[in-house]
Amino acid sequence: MNLLIDADALVALSKIDDSNHARALKIAKKIKSASLFASPLAIPEAASVISHRVSQKMASAFLKEAKKKKITVIPLSSELEKLADEIFIAQNKKGTSWPDCLNLAIAQKYGIETIFSFDKIYPRNNLQIFSHL
């Protein structure tokens, strides 16, 4: 199974007091055999959130550990950027995240049908959330 992983899932796995931490750990056990993919923004975004919400020390440790994981980072291309822009512009919800739209673009371009995330934007845009399967 090919699975895209979002920054919010990475944060939930790392931040013990995150509201999705327990769910994220259960999901992580289920996806051990999946091929994991991420946008080029997911790991840096998660590190930034951890730095803001926990500590810089934990964010640095997360970043080092995340770089060791078997996550294929999809490089940003002008084609993906344009597609993400189109998806972003088509959204109606206030507070839409461009990095989430980039994930949608990656899923569309690479035929990835499922994402490890807790964000509601994905099912609204026909991308299945792993925890909902």
What class is the 2-132 domain?
A: alpha beta
Mean pLDDT of 1-5: 96
What whole-number distance in Å separates Cα of residue 66 and Cα of residue 42?
10
The 10s digit of each residue's pLDDT in 32-50 is: 889 999 999 999 999 999 9
For tokens 């840096």, what's the residue? 44
Question: What is the structure's pLDDT at 33?
Answer: 86
Give the phi and the psi of residue 98 in degrees, each rounded to 5.
-60, -40
Give the span between the Cα atoms of 16 and 127, in whole angstroms: 27
Q: How confident is the model at residue 27 (pLDDT cuts 50, 70, 90)?
A: very high
β-strand partners of 35: 2
Distance spanning both ends of the chain, measured CA to CA:
13
78-90 and 98-110 are packed helices; what angle lies between their axes, rounded to 10 degrees?
A: 120
